[in-house]
């Protein structure tokens, strides 16, 4: 009897088993859906938390290039020897002596007060060459040395810039001294 009963049941048993499996699948699926719903929320919170200090940092970093401290007030007390030492980082690309050879960049003797693209023998970028009728005055050089690309877009001078106004003043005072008759201070 028992065998017969169970023999007639398998269909029903299959249906029940199928229903249980199906319910299980739905439970799993809703588990996934629930996770999908929960996780984006958690991500949003994390991104928000991280974004706060990042925004503050970006504002601080963005503040520096916007206003470049003028160099004129610093030049009177600038230190030519310190400028010469700081200009070591330019020496990979520039020579400083009178009649010195062009390297990656032009020789820099007599550049202060001279016209932009002042070397007759160096092959400048088109942008700098097109600025030939402007002179390198102290504030121009100050801005250029703070951020070369901002003053001469697409410049060939692959140099990030000097962020310290004091150091730029020292370097410009040194560049000024590279002349038979240095330009008057501003
Ligand atoms: C990676 C090489 C490189 C470094 C480092 C570099 N320069 Fe230059 N510099 C150049 C090149 C190349 C040019 C020509 C730019 C152009 O044609 O746009 C140039 C142009 C200049 C000019 C304009 C010259 C002119 O005749 O108008 C000045 C001034 C100058 N550099 C100063 C400096 C100083 C000061 C430093 C160091 C603080 C420095 N450079 C570091 C490659 C460099």
User: For 78-95, how does the pLDDT look when each residue is reduced to its tens digit (9 = 90+)?
Assistant: 999 999 999 999 999 999
Q: What is the CATH number of the domain that holds 154?
A: 1.10.760.10
Full residue range of the structural domain in which residue 93 is found: 72-177
Whether residue 163 sits in one domain with residue 82 = yes
Whether residue 157 sits in one domain with residue 122 = yes
Higher pLDDT, 32 or 116: 116
Is any ligand 1 atom within 6 A of the Cβ of residue 104?
Answer: yes
Is any ligand 1 atom within 6 A of the Cβ of residue 135?
Answer: no
Asked whether residue 183 is assigned to any structural domain, the reply reads: no
Q: Count CA atoms closer than 13 A to 2's CA, side-chain side.
A: 0
Beta bridge partners of 115: 135
Asked whether residue 182 is assigned to any structural domain, the reply reads: no
Whether residue 11 sits in one domain with residue 81 = no
Identify the residue whose tokens are 């200009």.
87
Give the integer Cα–Cα distance in Å for 9 and 178. 105
Per-residue pLDDT of 119-158, as tens digits, reads: 999 999 999 999 999 999 999 999 999 999 999 999 999 9
Is any ligand 1 atom within 6 A of the Cβ of residue 143?
Answer: no
> Which residue's CA is the closest to the ligand 1 atom numbered 28?
108
Give the pLDDT of residue 56. Answer: 45
Element of type H or E holding 3: helix 2-8
Whether residue 52 sits in one domain with residue 34 = yes
Whether residue 97 sits in one domain with residue 10 = no
Whether residue 99 sits in one domain with residue 33 = no
> Which residue's CA is the closest to the ligand 1 atom numbered 8?
157
Q: Which atom of ligand 1 is nearest to the CA of 152?
A: 18
Domain count, the chain: 2
pTM: 0.72
């Amino acid at each position: 009897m028992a065998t017969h009963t169970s023999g007639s049941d398998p269909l029903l048993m299959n249906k029940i088993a199928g229903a249980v499996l199906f319910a299980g699948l739905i439970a799993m699926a809703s588990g996934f859906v629930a996770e999908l719903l929960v996780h984006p929320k958690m991500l949003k919170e994390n991104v928000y938390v991280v974004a706060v200090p990042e925004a503050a940092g970006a504002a601080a970093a963005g503040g520096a290039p916007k206003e470049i401290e003028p160099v004129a007030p610093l030049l009177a007390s600038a230190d030519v020897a310190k400028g010469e030492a700081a200009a070591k980082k330019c020496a990979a690309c520039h020579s400083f002596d009178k009649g010195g050879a062009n390297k990656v960049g032009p020789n820099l003797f007599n550049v202060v007060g001279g016209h932009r693209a002042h070397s007759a023998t160096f092959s400048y970028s088109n942008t700098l060459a097109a600025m030939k009728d402007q002179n390198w005055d102290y504030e121009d050089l100050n801005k250029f040395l703070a951020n070369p690309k901002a003053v001469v877009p697409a410049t060939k001078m692959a140099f990030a810039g000097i962020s310290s106004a004091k150091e730029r003043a020292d370097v410009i005072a040194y560049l000024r001294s590279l002349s038979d008759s240095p330009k008057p201070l501003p």
